Amino acid sequence: MKNSSPKTKPPTLPLAGQIRSPKVEGRKQAAIRRKKPESPSVSGCGLRSSELGLLSAFDLRTSTFNPLPSTILLAVTGMSPAVLTETVWALAQEKEPVIPDRVVVITTIGGRQAIERELLMPSQPDVPTVWQQLRLAVLGQSAEKDSRLNFDAVRLIEAPNPRTGTSDWLEDLRTPEENAATANFILAELRRWTETPDTRLVVSIAGGRKTMGALLYACASLLGRDTDRLTHVLVNDPFDDPRLKPRFYFPKQPQQSLAATDGRTVSAADAKIDLADIPFVPLRNLFERDLVRKPGTFVELVQRCRGKVEEIARRNVRLKLTWSRRVIAVNDLRIKLSPLQCLLMLFLAENAKHALPAPDKYENAIEPLQAFAARVKATCVAEDGNDWRDEASLQKDFDGQRLRKVLDELKTKLRQAGPDAAVLIPLLPEKGRFTLDLAPAAITLKD
């Protein structure tokens, strides 16, 4: 999207191997504005960042076909970009070393500035950048000829600005609107890579605000493949402290002597970096058509998956009730209920079993429920000492609020009974629906 000021050129990140002087960088930093200008081309090849995922089978700098799957490190970061160098280092130290071909970072304006300042700018003239130092340590003397560990142009999170009718880069994530925009942005970026078959992803949730990590985890669960990894990086004390001077980035960094806040001097070589693999369920295996073939916003996809889960749950739930006993069986698991809970379950089950008209909201259910209670109580068998139906009654002041409390208590009891019983919970009444969302054939009502 074009910026209203045609003179503003978007700052781009240098490729590994390039060094920019602090003076030039200072002028570049001054050009950063909150308004999102036209997307910059990447690596001087005329491609927009949105097109990169389509070409992951090629080395953009040599235009040669790569027969092996490309490994993409996809990460969210905030004001501590060291999580990138730590993750790359940890991957390279695995029993079977993993060296990403490309590093793709999702962040905010402040996060990009931190990356440029700490990783991609030399601390002084004629000194390699931290990223160049890391590439040399991981790739060896051939680093300058190796196309791996290429730092892609940073993906700046953007959100629509209704006031201007344009999209702006985000400075932070604070409002619900900014969180929603971030979820959609992460989802779109992740989809770009997961829909490219010749890539494998290493997704890092170690950086950025906790919200960013949580959203990236959720998106990876929605779109991730069996071949993708989800990771978090851990560094021992005091190397995880951003107040170290100079800062820690990886164990073999040239600046080995680091001053801690307690006056100690520690060596970077003594740092221990652990990479934790976080298990995730690739939901695309269940909902491929909904997740991949029907693109949408993050919230839309979550709702679509939730609907599919509830549909599966409905197909696998069997509910048995006995009029004279305060016990229900959910998939043959017996659960004892209170008189009010049992009355409510019988009311819902009968309506669902016989497809009777259902109240549209809680308040409108009170009168039908009172009439139902009177009918149930009248059928009590006095000679049966276990028949509970003489307790089937509602207090005169029973209202919608009290009904919600009974329903909440019922859900809690089902949850406590274990997963076999908890499958009934999403089928119980919820906002906008006062029904038991279960097929008649799945319900058994015994005398």
Say if 47 falls within a structural domain: yes
Are residues 84 and 183 both part of a single domain?
Answer: yes
Q: How confident is the model at residue 232, as a pLDDT?
A: 97
**pLDDT reported for residue 59:** 41
Higher-confidence residue of 261 and 360: namely 261
pLDDT at position 116: 96
Same domain? For 320 and 398 the reply is: yes
> How does residue 396 score in pLDDT terms, banded at 50, 70 and 90?
confident
Contact (CB, 8 A) for 108 and 156 = yes
- Do residues 79 and 136 both lie within one domain? yes
pLDDT at 108 over 60: yes
Residue that finishes a domain, picked among 221, 256, 282: 282
Q: How many domains does the chain have?
A: 2
Global confidence as pTM: 0.65
Q: Are residues 274 and 346 in the same domain?
A: no
* Shared domain check, 177 and 76: yes
In a domain, 35, yes or no: yes
In the listed set 257, 282, 307, which residue is the last one of a domain according to the structure?
Answer: 282
Structural domain span for residue 138: 22-282
Q: Is the pLDDT of residue 92 over 60?
A: yes
Residue 357 lies in a domain: yes
Q: What pLDDT shows up at residue 123? A: 85
The reported pLDDT for the residue numbered 276 is 96
Q: 345 and 234 in one domain?
A: no
Residue 17 pLDDT:
38
Query: Does residue 49 carry a pLDDT above 80?
Result: no
- 168 within domain boundaries: yes
Mean pLDDT confidence for 94-107: 96
Domain annotation covers residue 386: yes
- 392 located within any domain: yes
Determine contact, residues 403/411, Cβ cutoff 8 Å. no
Q: Is the pLDDT of residue 16 over 70?
A: no
For the ranges 12-21, 112-121, 238-247, the lowest mean pLDDT is seen at 12-21
Query: Would the pLDDT of 366 be above 60?
Result: yes
Same structural domain, 377 and 427 = yes
**pLDDT tops 50 at residue 215:** yes
Give the rounded percent of residues in the chain with a pLDDT score beyond 70: 83
Q: What is the pLDDT of residue 124?
A: 86
Residues 95 and 215 in one domain: yes
Q: Among 49-58, 387-396, 401-410, which stretch is predicted with the lowest mean pLDDT?
A: 49-58
Higher pLDDT, 33 or 138: 138
Q: What is the CATH number for 142? A: 3.40.50.10770
pLDDT mean over 316-325: 93
- The reply to whether 216 and 96 lie within a common domain is yes
Lowest mean pLDDT among 18-27, 145-154, 237-246, 294-303: 18-27
For residues 142 and 194, state if they share a domain: yes
Residues 278 and 339 grouped into a single domain? no
Q: Are residues 277 and 369 in the same domain?
A: no
Give the mean model confidence (pLDDT) for residues 348-366.
Answer: 90
Give the model confidence (pLDDT) of 219-245 as tens digits: 999 899 999 999 999 999 999 999 999
Whether the pLDDT of residue 50 is over 50: the answer is no
Query: Cα separations (Å) of 344 from 121, 135, 279?
Result: 67, 66, 39
* Domain final position from 239, 258, 282: 282
Residue 167 lies in a domain: yes
pLDDT band, very low/low/confident/very high, at 56 (cuts 50, 70, 90): very low
Kindly state whether residue 119 falls inside one of the protein's structural domains.
yes
